Amino acid sequence: MQLIIDIPSNSLGNKIMQILNAFKSDGIKVKRQTESKDIDESLLTKEYMKEHWKELVMTSEDSSDYYKSDEYYEDRARDYEERDKI
C-alpha cells in the first residue's frame, strides 16, 4: 500500500517523519517529497546555496543510516573545512 499525505508545514512534517521512521524495522519505506521548483544546477553558486540552503536540505532524501556512518563525519569535517575557506 502506498499513502500520500499533504502536510501543511515543515515542523509538522518533521514530527510525522519521526513517528513513521519508528516503523522502518517493520519494512515501512518513508520518502519525503516536497513541492520544489526545478533548479538549474548551473545556478548552484555559493551565494545561491547560502540563501536557499534550507530548501536544498529539505528536498534531499533522508538517509538515517548515513547520519550514523563514518562517511557522515568525514563529510561534515570537509564541510567545516570548506566553510573556513569561504
Q: Is residue 10 part of a domain?
A: no
Q: Is residue 19 part of a domain?
A: no
Q: Is residue 58 part of a domain?
A: yes
Q: Is residue 52 part of a domain?
A: yes
**Is the model's pLDDT at 36 over the cut of 60?**
no
Kindly report the pTM of this predicted structure.
0.37
Q: Is residue 29 part of a domain?
A: no
The grid coordinates listed for 42 are 548551473
Residues of the domain holding 79? 40-86
Condensed to tens digits (0 to 9), the pLDDT of residues 50-85 reads 777 777 776 666 556 777 778 888 888 888 888 776
Mean of pLDDT values over 25-52: 72
Catalogue the long-range contacts made by 63-71 (C-beta closer than 8 Å, 24 or more residues apart).
64/21, 64/24
Q: Is residue 9 part of a domain?
A: no
The grid coordinates listed for 65 are 543510516
When divided into structural domains, the chain yields a total of: 1
